[in-house]
Chain A
Amino acid sequence: MAGVGVVFRKELADHLGSRRYLVLFALILLLSTMSAYQGVLYIRDRPQAGFMAIFWGTQFGFSFTYLMVFFGPIIGLALGFDAVNKERTGGSLSVLLSQPIYRDSVINGKFLAGVTALSILAASTVTIMSSLATTLLGFGPGIEDLLRITLIAGLTILYLAFWLGLGLLFSTVTKKTSTSILMSIATWLLCSVMISIIAALIANVVAPIPMPTGAGINTTRQLFESPEYRELLQRRFTIQTSIQRISPAYLYNEAAQAILGRAGGQFFIGPGGGGSPFRSLDVSQALMMNWPQITALAVGLVVCFAASYILFLRLEIRPGG
């Protein structure tokens, strides 16, 4: 593996010193500390919520998990989308490849450097949030909480690495950075924003909610409390979830909620029709239940990287680009 270490060090130094990375890092850090502060307020109002609520508890709309669902794709894609094609069009790739290295050292080094940069971002964000919350709350995470924090950091890194891999794939497939950046933005919008709208639309077409025909509170109430209606809601929810699961961001959210101690995926309606849609899970349960989501993310990552690896090795360095 001659050269992979050299490429890795150079690429990592590039990332850590790049304006792009620093701006994203600063943004995430700022928003995360704000979300941790919201979490702290949430815990102060509901002491039974537990320390982990700093990652999901919100008062003004955004939590750490939400931030990652929304910004995660951008961070990962931003570090990957021009990794190969920029060097290709800039002419430095042919200089690089005429050195005595194997070709895969280049793509391996680039990918590892990206993953490292993302790990630094995710791990330090989670650490800073936890320490800030500990200071503000006056109590720190317990042993199990520490395990959960480690797991959420790991999951976040896996999730960000997936987007990095996808970005790398885009940069290998396309010749121009303008194309790969457009592909990245389109994917981001689709996976973070559009997918829930699309899912809701489809669910509405497949299983529309009947409007009570007869006026009057009683019929409406009867309808809402009927088992058929519950079944319909459950069906709608299943359809919506299945569609949203196409999006890695949704998979991440489900797994993250479970690791944080909230059951994602299932929609529980208590016996009285009300009740919380979430129940608390212990760590092993959470991992077991969300193993498919985690596996899907990991498989997605492997597929993206393997595809860009193969394409990169087969890339024809042709005259003129």
Chain B
Amino acid sequence: MSQPIIQTRDLTKYYGEVKAVDHLNLTVYEGEIFGFLGPNGSGKTTTLLMLMGLTVPTSGTATVAGYDIIKESREIRRVAGLLPEGAGYYEDLTARQNMDYIGQLNDIPKPERERRINELLEAVGLEKWADVKVEKFSRGMKQRLGIAEVLIKRPKIAFFDEPTIGLDPQGVKEIRDIILRLNREESLTIFYSSHLLYEVQQTCRRVGFIREGRLIATDTIENLSKKVSGGKTLEFELTEITPELIREIRAIDGVASVEQEGLRLYVYMERDRSRDVSETITKHGAIILLMRPREYSLEDIFLKYYEGVT
């Protein structure tokens, strides 16, 4: 396992009375793409802003690349780049001029700066647009420029906040490819915040799930799916359903709950008791028209997380 590069301890942020982030404990390891998943308004952006030292936590601490987020926030901004949600650029400057400004703010000497600008504009596919004013850029191009700006300081960690929001599928794919390549070739640690499950699934190995400011789960996506579905659910369609039948199924050891929906029954089991359940049904004289295990789509799983059913 590689070294932890981001560690938060009980990180908490209030905006007035509103709790934006609530005792967040999170570890991100060097060289990984960490997906930070959660619905809108769950505290993702606030967490990112705190980690970059742009807003001060109400309580708790965190370190990024070994620097304290409160006392050494400027050092963090030297080694970490952030592409904020809805990042903006100076519209009446060209892509090159925009990048040059950011480069200067990072104290990069001129020849090196020019070299990096050319290199990065090429890497994000904007070399032909280098001297065009940003006002002419499409959303996707601006977002790619944003990534290039993040990279000009040669960061150890890059924070991307909803980097694909509002982009067309082509744009989304371009951003994703760039991010994956950066991680592969430069072994850049990437902290990828998004509410789009599919996006995160495509890019990240490990995800953290945040809801109402609390970190609900951190794991690989496969493990998370397993956790949510837990045991097994069976769906039955029967010719008749009596209350006694339901009571009897519930009484079976290993059955967690039973739900009725018309002539359908959903049986949630902690262990596989399909045989006992179907036997009980036939004993009651009902005929099984349909019996199948219920499968969760990824959407279902994450809706469960979103709704707080854990």
Contacts and interface: CB of A to CB of B under 8 A. Distances in A.
Interface of A: 2-3, 6-7, 10, 14, 87, 90-102, 316-321
Contacts of B83: 95
B107 interface: yes
Interface stretch (B45-53, B230-238, B278-286, B302-310): B45-53
B84 A91 contact: yes
B77 A98 contact: yes
Among all A-B residue pairs, the 8 with the closest Cβ atoms = A91-B88, A319-B45, A90-B88, A92-B88, A99-B105, A94-B84, A98-B82, A100-B78
A98 B52 contact: yes
25 contacts: A2-B74, A2-B107, A6-B101, A6-B104, A6-B105, A10-B101, A91-B84, A91-B86, A91-B87, A91-B88, A92-B89, A93-B88, A94-B84, A95-B82, A95-B84, A98-B52, A98-B81, A100-B106, A100-B153, A101-B77, A316-B15, A317-B54, A317-B55, A319-B46, A319-B49
Interface string B31-57: 000000000010011100100101100
B296 interface: no
Nearest to B79: A100
Nearest to A86: B88
Contacts of B89: 91-92, 95
Q: Determine which residue in B85, B86, B149 has the highest number of CB atoms from chain A within 10 A of its CB, and name it.
A: B86
- The range of chain B's interface size is 20 to 34
Contacts of A321: 86
A93 B49 CA distance: 13
Q: Determine which residue in A2, A7, A95, A98 has the highest number of CB atoms from chain B within 10 A of its CB, and name it.
A: A98
A320 B74 contact: no
Given A2-B107, A6-B101, A100-B78, A94 B15 contact: no
Contacts of A102: 74
Interface string B102-131: 101111000000000000000000000000
Nearest to A3: B105
A139 to B, nearest CB: 46
A47 to B, nearest CB: 51
Contacts of A97: 54
A98 B104 CA distance: 13
Given A95-B87, A319-B85, 20 more contacts: A2-B107, A10-B104, A91-B88, A93-B88, A94-B84, A94-B87, A95-B88, A98-B54, A98-B81, A98-B84, A99-B102, A99-B106, A100-B77, A101-B74, A102-B74, A318-B46, A319-B41, A319-B49, A320-B45, A321-B86
Nearest to B134: A92
Contacts, number: 82
A7 B106 CA distance: 12
A10 B41 CA distance: 35
Contacts of A92: 87-90
Contacts of B46: 318-319
Contacts of B10: none
Contacts of B91: 90
Nearest to A101: B105
B140 interface: no
Nearest to A318: B15
Nearest to A19: B92
A98 B84 CA distance: 9
Given A87-B88, A92-B88, A320-B86, A100 B105 contact: yes
Q: Determine which residue in A2, A94, A319 has the highest number of CB atoms from chain B within 10 A of its CB, and name it.
A: A319
Contacts of A93: 88
Contact of A317 (B41, B44, B49): B49
A321 B84 CA distance: 10
B75 interface: yes
B146 interface: yes
Contacts of A3: 105
Nearest to A98: B82
Nearest to B89: A92
Contacts of B54: 94, 97-98, 317
A182 B219 CA distance: 52
A95 B143 CA distance: 12
A86 to B, nearest CB: 9
